[in-house]
Chain A
Amino acid sequence: MLSVQDLHASVDGKEILKGLSLEVPAGEVHAIMGPNGAGKSTLSYVLTGRQGYEVTQGSATLDGEDLLALEPNERAAKGVFLSFQYPLEIPGVPALTFIRTALNAQKKARGEPEVSAPEFLKLARAKAAELRIDFDMLKRALNVGFSGGEKKRMEILQMAMLSPRFLILDETDSGLDIDALRIVADGVNALRSPDRAMLVITHYQRLLDYIKPDRVHVLSAGRIVASGGPELALELEREGYDKYARAAA
């Protein structure tokens, strides 16, 4: 599924990713953990094509296709979805309108027929109920005036409706209380399937109690410095990142 080789990337001329390599096969959930400033968010933005993140070396492919050559919306149409750490507010655009526009744009790019309005609303109602989002909230401008937890749930709702193949969750647990965390994790876990893969980026181990990873990678100073099974997350929780920060330096 996702294959990243020797990826170097800079922001404002400063190198943040320094030779990052990572393989996430279909059907698996991988966690990326690391201290602040390790390059976690940079990795998510480089994979999704945000402006200002310049790749200077290396490659990133999804099922063999060069992601880095594609526009952000083309990557989305290929199935790459990023759940933002800080979801943006979109004043004046009702959530339903936004999601429907996105879904139909993706379908158009893939040469699939658009969803009809009744079909779309039925899907939205079902997914909102699963995530315990009041349907009326979807008629309001996307994320405007929503709490941190509501915004995160709205990200998962969009994820569920857009049905991506490769999911990146950037600090999805931040701002969530334990009940909201459980709802969000249920939503994410419902999307686990043999033809999807996920990259869960998190600072704390807590989220991984709810979204169980197959592999855990430690990102420090722009590179993966250790990889292991779920037990690695527990070790990090116990002992902190110090050991790896030193190893990277």
Chain B
Amino acid sequence: MSVASAIRIRDAAELPGKRDEDWRWTDLRGLIREVPPASAPTGAVGAGPFDALADEVVVVANGEGAAHVSVEPHGKRIVALRIVSRGDGSHAARVSIDVEADAKLRLLESYEGQGGYLSQTQLVFSLGAGAQVERIVLASDDAEGVTVSQAEVQLAAGAEFGQTVVTAGARRQRIETTVHHPGGHAALRLDGVYLLADKRHADLTTVVTHEGLDGVTGQLTKGVVRDQARGVFQGRIVVAEGADRTDARMGHHALILSDRAEVDAKPELEIYADDVSCAHGNTVGRLDEDALFYARQRGIPEPEARAILTEAFVGEVVDRIWFEGARDVVRAWVAARLGG
């Protein structure tokens, strides 16, 4: 049972829903009575948000297009991966990303949707020893779209994987990342930002399994929800038996800006090793009224003061992006969404 097979065999009964523990806040089965017919080819798709930064632009449109990105040992590449959805059909795609030993990849992934589609994307990352990958995901889906992105990441010793997912949600959206962490001084950053308005929904789910000694994971997700939007954060870090000296930190913080908005969070640490340093923090609250008054007392009008404080709240995550060019694109994208 999976979203991919539901699309492939066009059977809504295959979709995950409320009864599946991991999907209870992102019910697809209850939402979609019938899987829409397969999407037609899109035609021209215009420009993507990261084109100017990339050596190469890979387009997957309505499930069709290149399905492989690779970087040879010691190689270096900046690739823009565009997952484009158009229309009201359904489509699925699979992309594999192989980054060999000591190679470096910046993967600038964008979800660009228009229509009431059902889309699923499976990404499989494989990193060699000492490889470094930074994956930036910028999700601009349609308010009517339903989209699921599922990434599976296999790290190797000494590898570094940094990820920042930035999303404005969709009718229903799930961006899921599963990481197999071998320890061996491999380092993982798994960050997220969700900015949701109207009736949009976003679900950022991560599962990290530390399987060996000396692994590092740092996770920071921040969300801002307004109107009737709903944000979901599910973060699970498992430290397997024997994965000693694991250092794992998880933070999730959300601002709720209206009475009808909602945030559901489930941070979980499952620790089966003895000698570990793990911590998690989770807060959901409103904008600090005292700080808001302070800014207004200095002469900043209320809407501007709210925007500044909200942008600063999210800015902490954006600042953690390594690649400056991508950081600037993301910062501008965030500012444009919070400026109003």
Contacts and interface: CB of A to CB of B under 8 A. Distances in A.
Nearest to A83: B297
Given A88-B291, A91-B313, A92-B313, A76 B297 contact: yes
Contacts of A82: 297
Interface residues of B, number: 23
Interface in A87-137: 87-93, 98-99, 101-103, 105-106, 109
Contacts of B295: 90, 98, 102
Q: B294, B299, B313: which has the most chain A beta carbons within 10 Å?
A: B299
Contacts of B300: 73, 101-102, 105
B304 A88 contact: no
Contacts of B299: 73, 76-77, 102-103, 105-106, 109, 162
Nearest to A109: B299
Contact of B298 (A89, A92, A162): A162
Determine the main DSSP class of B at the interface with A.
helix
B38 interface: no
A84 B294 contact: yes
Contacts, number: 77
A49 B298 CA distance: 12
Contact of A73 (B288, B289, B301, B312): B301
Most B CB atoms within 10 A — which of A81, A90, A106, A162?
Answer: A90
Contacts of B308: 93, 98, 101
Contacts of B294: 84, 87-88, 90
B29 interface: no
B290 interface: yes
Given A72-B293, A76-B299, A88-B294, A105 B304 contact: yes
B327 interface: no
B296 A90 contact: no
Interface string A33-54: 0000000000000001111000
B315 interface: yes
B189 to A, nearest CB: 19
Contacts of A87: 294
Contacts of A90: 291, 294-295, 309, 312
A93 B308 CA distance: 8
Interface residues of A, number: 31
A23 interface: no
A202 interface: no
Contacts of B296: 49, 71-73, 76
Nearest to B301: A73
Nearest to B310: A92
B302 interface: yes
A90 to B, nearest CB: 6
Contact of B290 (A88, A92, A105): A88
B274 interface: no
A51 B316 contact: no
Contacts of B302: 71, 73
A191 to B, nearest CB: 16
A51 B304 CA distance: 18
B312 A50 contact: no
Give the one of B295, B297, B305 with max A CB within 10 A: B297
Contacts of A73: 296-302, 305
A52 to B, nearest CB: 9
A158 interface: yes
Nearest to A99: B298
Nearest to B319: A92
Interface string B8-31: 000000000000000000000000
A115 to B, nearest CB: 13
A84 B291 CA distance: 12
A101 B316 CA distance: 20
Contacts of B313: 91-92
Interface string B263-297: 00000000000000000000000001111011111
Given A72-B297, A102-B298, 14 more contacts: A49-B297, A72-B296, A73-B299, A76-B297, A76-B298, A76-B299, A77-B299, A88-B291, A89-B291, A90-B291, A92-B313, A93-B309, A99-B298, A106-B299
Q: What 7 A-B pairs have minimum CB-CB distances, sorted nearest first?
A: A92-B312, A76-B299, A102-B298, A106-B299, A72-B296, A88-B294, A73-B296
21 contacts: A49-B296, A71-B296, A71-B301, A72-B297, A73-B300, A73-B301, A76-B296, A76-B297, A77-B299, A87-B294, A88-B290, A90-B295, A90-B312, A91-B316, A92-B311, A92-B312, A93-B312, A101-B308, A103-B299, A105-B304, A162-B298
